[in-house]
Chain A
Amino acid sequence: MHEISLVRSIFNTLESEFSKKELDTMTAINLRVGLLSNVEPLLMQNAFDAVTTAEEKYQGVKLQVELVPIEIHCNDCQSSSIVENYKFVCASCGKPNNNVVKGTELLIHQVHFDS
């Protein structure tokens, strides 16, 4: 798994968006992780703890991981539905559909600062 490199990527991303001064007041990071992103929230949490401890930075920062379900949009009947059990069919008209509109994301959704 590549959770460790994702944690480094979180830090790199934050460091290019915010100043050191801002990051010193950071208290929490919210990730949005699609069910199709192949990221296991628990492993992500462990990797985050491991890296923050090893590199002695962002140590009191909380990581929250929000799982996003898979959503498809049907162009035939113009409706959106949630994919259950990885069966990619439109819930309203029953046609096979893999037009995924949500569920692959892997992004920083929110950053909380104590200021």
Chain B
Amino acid sequence: MDKIQKSTKTARGTVTCDNTTMHLLKANDFVAASIREKMTEKNILLINITSSAGSGKTTLLQETARRIGGKVNMKVLVGDLETERDADRIRETGVDALQIVTGGICHLEAQMVWQAMENLNLEGVELLIIENVGNLVCPASFDLGEDYRVTLIATTEGDDKPKKYPRMFLTSEMMLVSKVDLLEHLPFSVEAVVADARDVNPNIKVLEVSSTKNMGIDAWCEWLLEKVKEKQNTKKEVTA
């Protein structure tokens, strides 16, 4: 508070309070910072995957787990409104996954991730991926302490989505155009979606993937492995 001193003076008239103590997401941001600190300490790369409902997040993570589950020690946290299904699908691939059932809340909050982490053995883990609730609006505002946010947009959606949901694309490191195996049957233009996304975020990286037809998955996994390596190396610099 800049105009009053709490407890010494009674607030009267109009009190202007343009500072962070009145920031409504401060509780979330505080926990997110704690997560970031913990992940840095343990050198775990934390990825937050977002998209609209059904764009192919779980299928991509299944495919990713099959590819690199044997190369890096990875785990997955999955946010879902009501069910446990997506975590089961990941576990089928042999990778440990934990479901966070949000009970109707349309996004994951840092506090939910923090609590879930307490039920997850993070010893030796190098990569933790969070599948967020399928929704491009609310999850955009909630920092989960991730290193990178990756957003999927499927070819079955509108190629003008980045401008409709600018916050999400502004805060994403990477946009994955998913289900590209269906491109020939759809009016979707990859060029248009990339142009739309780059209007919002000129630096956004783009990969085209199909999890069912095995397209672009190598490039995606390579990017992940490279980022895992970078995160591991920060440790050595610190301890050296």
- The answer to the question of B200 belonging to the interface, with a C-beta cut-off of 8 Å to chain A, is yes
Q: Knowing A98-B201, A98-B203, A106-B23 are in contact, say whether A111-B14 is a contact too (CB < 8 A).
A: yes
Q: Size range of the interface on B?
A: 35 or more
A30 to B200, CA, bound (A): 29
- The answer to the question of A60 belonging to the interface, with a C-beta cut-off of 8 Å to chain B, is no
Enumerate chain B residues within 8 angstroms of A88, measured Cβ to Cβ.
170, 199-202
Enumerate chain B residues within 8 angstroms of A17, measured Cβ to Cβ.
1, 6, 17, 21-22
CB of A66 to closest CB in B, whole Å = 12
A86 to B160, CA, bound (A): 12
CB of A74 to closest CB in B, whole Å = 12
Number of interface residues of A (CB under 8 A): 37
CB of A76 to closest CB in B, whole Å = 13
Q: Is the CB of B141 within 8 A of A113?
A: no
A86 to B199, CA, bound (A): 7
Residues B120-176 near A (CB distance < 8 A): 137-138, 140-141, 163, 166-167, 170
- The answer to the question of A13 belonging to the interface, with a C-beta cut-off of 8 Å to chain B, is yes
Interchain CB contact (< 8 A) of A106 among B25, B105, B138, B200: B25
Q: Is the CB of A2 within 8 A of B166?
A: no
- The answer to the question of B12 belonging to the interface, with a C-beta cut-off of 8 Å to chain A, is yes
Q: Quick one: closest A residue to B13, CB to CB?
A: A113
State the A residues within 8 Å of B (CB). 1-2, 5-6, 9-10, 12-13, 17-19, 21-22, 32, 36-38, 85-89, 96-98, 100, 104-113, 115
Residue pairs across A and B with Cβ atoms less than 8 A apart, 19 shown, are A9-B24, A13-B21, A19-B10, A38-B140, A85-B163, A86-B166, A86-B199, A86-B200, A87-B199, A96-B202, A98-B170, A107-B20, A107-B23, A107-B24, A109-B22, A110-B15, A111-B11, A112-B13, A112-B14
